[in-house]
Amino acid sequence: MFRVFPFSILAVAILAAPAAQAYEAGDIILRAGVAHVDPDSSSSRVNLDGAGPIPGWEVEVDSDTQLGLTGTYMLTPHIGLGLLASSPFKHDIEGAEALDGADLGETKHLPPTLTLQYFPMTSASRLQPYAGIGINYTHFFDEKTTPTLTGAVAGLAPDAGINATKLDLDDSVGLALELGLDFALTDHFGLNAAIWYVDIDTDATITAFADGAEVATATSDVEIDPLVYMIGVSYRF
């Protein structure tokens, strides 16, 4: 998967930029830009209730790019409280191993992330790297399945009359790690680049129906664990 992020783009304006005041306690820094979620997903084998794991049935989650928004409230000149938000990410869910390449469904999620950030540079520096550690809460919603998944499930029980499926993903709470870089162009405007590692684990439940009646359920533990990349602009209040 693509895991190279162009932090060097922040160097474009370094020589031309005027001096700018560094962060102080009480400052609020808002950032907006392009955010890319790149999952490093894996799953346990799908476990059919009453029958155990299904050989070769695993799933993975693809990447997506959306508008990213972050904010930092400076508690001191070196310590800040950061919040990551975004427009909803949409991910296709694909099969792996025996289901390799099969389009099985899709989901949307929101990943609000709160971090405690450390800014090590002195007030004389326009370039302000920072590191953060905190917690992520990922809310999944609008899950959908495809006829491909329904057909595959129906093939496991050809006499059950399965003609519909439903997917549910549990919300996730996990560790978040962050590295970022602010470059001040003026006292208020600047450039930003950041990367997060987010621990996202969810329990997926597939429910099979025959003419509206629930026939069977299957479950899988899915580890998404993405890297989130963002590059954009910042404004300090």
- Residue 119's nearest CA partner among 129, 109, 107 is 129
Average per-residue pLDDT for the chain: 85
Q: Please, which residues have CB within 8 angstroms of residue 219's CB and are 6 or more apart in sequence?
A: 46, 47, 49, 203, 204, 205, 206
Torsion angle defined by CA atoms of residues 76, 78, 81 and 85, in that order, rounded to the nearest 10 degrees:
140
Q: Using one digit for the tens of pLDDT, what is the confidence trace for 45-94? A: 676 665 566 777 777 888 999 999 999 999 999 999 999 998 999 988 88
Task: Count helices and strands (H / E) in the chain.
Answer: 1, 17
pLDDT the model gives residue 119: 94
Q: What distance lies between CA 138 and its chain's CA centroid?
A: 8
- Residue 180's nearest CA partner among 27, 19, 10 is 10
Domains and CATH numbers, the chain: 23-45+60-146+171-199+223-236 (2.40.160.20)
Q: Which residues of 194-225 are buried (b: 16+ CB within 10 A; e: fewer)?
A: bbbbbbbebebbbbbbeeeeebbbbbbebbbb
pLDDT the model gives residue 67: 94
Least confident of 25-29, 42-46, 159-163, 193-197: 42-46
What predicted TM-score, i.e. pTM, was given to this entire model? 0.81
Provide the pLDDT confidence category of residue 218 given band limits of 50, 70 and 90: confident
Instruction: Please provide residue 3's backbone torsions phi and psi, each rounded to the nearest 5 degrees.
Output: -135, 35
Above 60 in pLDDT, residue 16? no
CA distances from 219 to 125, 143, 169, 182 (A): 52, 15, 10, 43
Provide the pLDDT confidence category of residue 125 given band limits of 50, 70 and 90: confident
Cα separation of 33 and 220, whole Å?
Answer: 34
117 or 62, which is more confident: 117
